Structure 1
Amino acid sequence: PVKIASVYQSASLIAQEISWKLEQKKSFRQICKSTFQEIEKCPYVKGIRIGCSGRLNGAEIAKTECKKYGETSLHVFSNQIDYAKAQASTPYGILGVKVWV
């Protein structure tokens, strides 16, 4: 077993939490806002990027939304980036969730 100081240190735990909240019919923007507030309390996390694709909030046409907070450079290899993806099953279909920390 590995001990983690905070849930927001691991991308896989964040992705699972977001997918669970989406299955509980919470708004993606509301989920991002609460996640970013929790990330502010973690001094060792520089930034986070959350992407969600599918029929968000039951929209007729699927779309992709990406929200970011802080520094999340995907082009520079000097930063250590943790990546995870998860799926949320809703009555409208499956939503894909991607998280970079």
Structure 2
Amino acid sequence: MGHKINPGSLRLPITRAWTSKWFSSKKDFAQKLFQDITIRDTITKQYGSNSGIADVIIERNPQEITLTIHTSKPGILIGRGGKGITDIKAILSKITSSKLRLNVVEIKKPDLRAKIVASQIGQQITRRISYRRAAKQSAERVMQAGAKGVKITIGGRLQGADIARTETLSLGTIPTSSLKRDIEYAQVHAPTTYGIIGVKVWIHKGSLEIQDDSPIASRPLL
């Protein structure tokens, strides 16, 4: 099962946290969920795939919406004199009428964030750099940053081949079935002249203590 579903959703709320933190009535749930998706898409499009954004955490209360953006390049998001924050608030105000609060958190080790690694590989593939070279260099950087293991899967019409195929590069261990393992997963799409190339990245960072309020906290660790 660990190979068939998203490693993040499999570990909710055992060792992973939700990226949307709010409660809603059944009547308003779909509207707020769609709003969250639109906010994340807008932020990604506004700053581009080179902004180093790994997560956008959305928290809601009756008075305001708090957005916490985790990025490896906070300077790009904040801008000179905070102009970047002002601009994105103006754009997001067209999506929601709620008061917005933005927090930017710098990622100290971007090579251990699956979303950033996958985006970097996708950008190189779009620029026609060899996918094998891009994957190998990224995997080596991930291991040098202290990861226990990394797996990169690239699929599509690789190098313009007539028949689509999938290739995988793996270093270290990726125990996808063990729920106490801290495994981060991300996937991106890289547009090329031959079509879309899919990039998937798994990063194993080691073991985590299972939270006290998790459903299996009282059971033996796997």
> TM-score w.r.t. structure 1 length?
0.92
Find the counterpart in structure 1 of residue 136 from structure 2.
Answer: 33
Match of 2:188 among 63, 72, 86: 86
1: CA distance between counterparts of 2:131 and 2:172? Answer: 18
Letter in 2 for 1:84: A
Identical positions, percent:
34
Residue equivalent to 1:69: 171
Q: Aligned pair 1:8/2:124, yes or no?
A: no
Three-state SS of the structure 1 residue aligned to 2:186 is: strand
Unaligned runs of 5+ in 1: none
Match of residue 42, structure 1, among 145, 148, 159: 145
Higher relative contact order (CA 8 A, sep 6+): 1
C-alpha displacement of 1:70: 1.0
Cα RMSD, aligned residues only: 1.1
Larger Rg: 2
* Deviation for aligned residue 1:37: 2.4
Counterpart of 1:74, as a letter, is T
Moved over 3 A (4+): none
Q: Which is helix-richer, 1 or 2?
A: 2
Q: Structure 2 stretches of 5 or more lacking a match?
A: 1-103, 204-222
Q: Which residue of 2 aligns with 1:60?
A: 162
Q: What displacement does 1:73 show?
A: 1.4
